[in-house]
Amino acid sequence: MPSVYTKIMAGDLPGRFVYTDDQATAFLTVAPLRPGHTLVVPRQEIDHWQDLPPELAAHVFAVAQRIALALRTAFPSKRVGLVIAGLEVRHTHLHVVPIDALDDLDFRRVDTAPDPTALDDAAERIGTALAALG
């Protein structure tokens, strides 16, 4: 059975994509920790990140780094955090989050009902920042 992320990438479920290529995608989470919280997901459905083939892992992390650079511009913060938890969806995904404190990565604090307009704005800001990176 396809994961929720596979369904999003296939267009069967909605997603606010900010990056896509033939190996990975990046889209906003529907339960953000902070504005701009983006998920980087390999297209290949692999549960444990340690099981990613090395070339795919390198690519996924390169995409996450590019998203982090865009987030620094779109959502100024002290840092951009990176978390790989993998408990909520059995499909490798990297959480890339603008943060000012370690508490900003506390998953008990996710916004379970974010404003759709704010999510659209975040996607647009990230897309603009990615375009500026070239």
CATH code of 111's domain? 3.30.428.10
Domain that holds residue 17: 4-127
What is the rounded distance in angstroms from the CA atom of residue 35 to the CA atom of residue 76?
A: 11
Domain assignment of residue 132, yes or no: no
Domain assignment of residue 104, yes or no: yes
DSSP label at 78?
Answer: S
Domain assignment of residue 26, yes or no: yes
| pLDDT number for residue 108 | 96
What is the rounded distance in angstroms from the CA atom of residue 50 to the CA atom of residue 134?
A: 30
Domain assignment of residue 107, yes or no: yes
Domain assignment of residue 134, yes or no: no
| pLDDT number for residue 6 | 97
Q: pTM for the full model?
A: 0.96
Nearest to 33 by CA among 118, 134, 109: 109
Q: Name beta bridge partners: 20.
A: 25
Domain assignment of residue 17, yes or no: yes
Domain assignment of residue 41, yes or no: yes
Domain count, the chain: 1
Domain assignment of residue 114, yes or no: yes
Q: Which residues contact 70 (CB under 8 A, 6 or more apart)?
A: 18, 126, 129, 130, 133
> What does the pLDDT profile of the chain (134 residues) look like in tens digits?
899 999 999 999 999 999 999 999 999 999 999 999 999 999 999 999 999 999 999 999 999 999 999 999 999 999 999 999 988 899 999 999 999 999 999 999 999 999 999 999 999 999 999 999 98
Using CA atoms, how far residue 109 sits from 7, 39, 52, in Å, is: 26, 17, 29
